[in-house]
Structure 1
Amino acid sequence: MIVCVCNAIRESEVREAARNGASCPTSAYRCFGRKPRCGQCFSFAREIIAAERAA
């Protein structure tokens, strides 16, 4: 599933970034050399990161 349309970032990539230490969408996107743009994806990305960090 696509999380960020602007950067074509998938849920699996956000999960991977969270497992590697990303604590917020900005740091997760930075793992892939991308920057947030419109910000519409932040709430979903935060949920994914929180779920991965809790697991």
Structure 2
Amino acid sequence: MIVCVCNAIRECDLRKAAREGASCPTSAYRSFGRKPRCGQCFTFAREVIAAEQSAA
């Protein structure tokens, strides 16, 4: 599933970034060499990152 349309970031990529230490959407996007644009994805991106961190 695409989480961020502006940057074409998929949920699986976001989960991987969270496992590798990203703690928020901005740090996750930075790990892909991208920057947040419109910000509409932040709510869902935060949920995905939190779920991945709690599963670890």
Instruction: State whether TM-score is above 0.5.
Output: yes
Report the TM-score, using the length of structure 1 for normalisation.
Answer: 0.99
Q: How much does 1:6 deviate? A: 0.2
Report the TM-score, using the length of structure 2 for normalisation.
Answer: 0.97
Q: What amino acid does structure 2 have at the position aligned with 1:19? A: R
Q: What amino acid does structure 2 have at the position aligned with 1:13? A: D
The CA distance in 1 between the partners of 2:20 and 2:31, in whole Å, is: 9
Q: What residue number does 1:53 align with?
A: 53
Give the paired residue count.
55
Q: What amino acid does structure 1 have at the position aligned with 2:45? A: A
Q: What residue number does 2:16 align with?
A: 16
Q: Give unpaired runs (5+ residues) of structure 1.
A: none
Q: What residue number does 1:36 align with?
A: 36
Q: Give unpaired runs (5+ residues) of structure 2.
A: none
